[in-house]
Amino acid sequence: MAKITWKSDDAPEKKSDGLLNRAVKVLRVVSTFPHGVGLSELARLADVPKASCFRIITVLEAEGILFTDEDTKRTRISVGALSIVGGLLTQSGMLRAVRDILADLSTASGETTGFDVLQGEDIVVLMQNVGPSLIGQTLKQTPRTQPPWLTSTGKALLAHRDPDEVRELLAPRYPQENLHQLDLFIESLEPARVHGYAWLYGALERDAASVAAPVMIDGLPKYALWIGGPTYRITPDNARQLGQLAIEAAEKTARLLTASREAQGFAEPLLESGINGTI
């Protein structure tokens, strides 16, 4: 499976990207690292050759748009340039960037992907991106709510809570005839926390499976990204590989949300926006 790489919005498919297109890619990545990013990681995430990336940084530094710390060698957006690139970090620009991350994750995994949050006792599916292989599944409308114990995102988000707290949260709504199985669900949370991703097989729908990774902000799981598809494509053999893709996308999303909060002062920007729609 392909690695996820950043791409500029609506960029045409060409054999050779122009310098301007590459500069936009570099700016998009740097804008998600409020404390700076190293050259090698920047080149990898932007999918720009390291030598070209260095030249772009040099030019943008000369224009006062980027700043590289001499001690850490990490590059960030200069304070004076935030007004220029601020559109990348506004609420609408941020949501568009999250949708791009989901689209890239679908391309890399070959499956439908989504973005969830835990609100009270419910998992809320905020966004989803149709995968290239949507066969034999009915795509549901967003936003929608789902029981946490039937979703991989529920496992990914609850894995960072105390087991007694999870039991207290879920027990009132958990099917009483199967209440003894709640302990099995809680026991499955520890591996999800250790490995950084969770997966669930045939729970929400008999023939459906999914993997998910939490979006960690300030050390807490605020949201989760998931990859979902039929059980004959998402199997125990490839769950780990898909989990790593989900982790990579979740880390990228966390950097984006952290940067938007620090630049614009959003508290919970995605919840404020009333997200709706399949992309």
The 10s digit of each residue's pLDDT in 105-118 is 999 999 999 999 88
Range 231-246 burial, b when 16+ CB lie within 10 A, else e: eebbeeeebeebbbbb
Give the position of tokens 């950097």. Answer: 255
> 128 — phi, psi (to 5°)?
-150, 150
CATH 3.30.450.40 domain position(s) in the chain = 91-272
- The pLDDT of residue 14 is 47
CATH 1.10.10.10 domain position(s) in the chain = 19-87
**What is the C-alpha R_g of the chain?**
20
The 10s digit of each residue's pLDDT in 236-262 is 899 999 999 999 999 988 888 887 666
- The pLDDT of residue 165 is 92
Torsion angle, CA of 56/61/67/70, rounded to 10 degrees? 90
Please list the rounded mean pLDDT of every run of 10 residues in the chain (279 residues): 48 56 85 82 90 92 85 79 52 74 92 90 88 63 85 94 92 86 90 92 85 92 93 91 95 83 55 46
* 152: amino acid identity, one letter: S
- The pLDDT of residue 190 is 92
The CATH-assigned architecture of domain 91-272 is: 2-Layer Sandwich (3.30)
Return the bridge partners of 95, or none.
Answer: none
Indicate the SS3 state at residue 249: helix
- The pLDDT of residue 90 is 58
Do 225 and 252 meet the contact criterion of CB atoms below 8 Å apart? Answer: no
CA distance 173 to 188: 19
19-87 belongs to which CATH class? mainly alpha
- The pLDDT of residue 271 is 44
Indicate the SS3 state at residue 220: strand
79: CB partners within 8 A, 6+ apart: none
Q: Read out DSSP for 145-206? A: EE-GGGSHHHHHHHTTS-HHHHHHHHTTTS-GGGGGGHHHHHHTHHHHHHHS-EEEESSSST
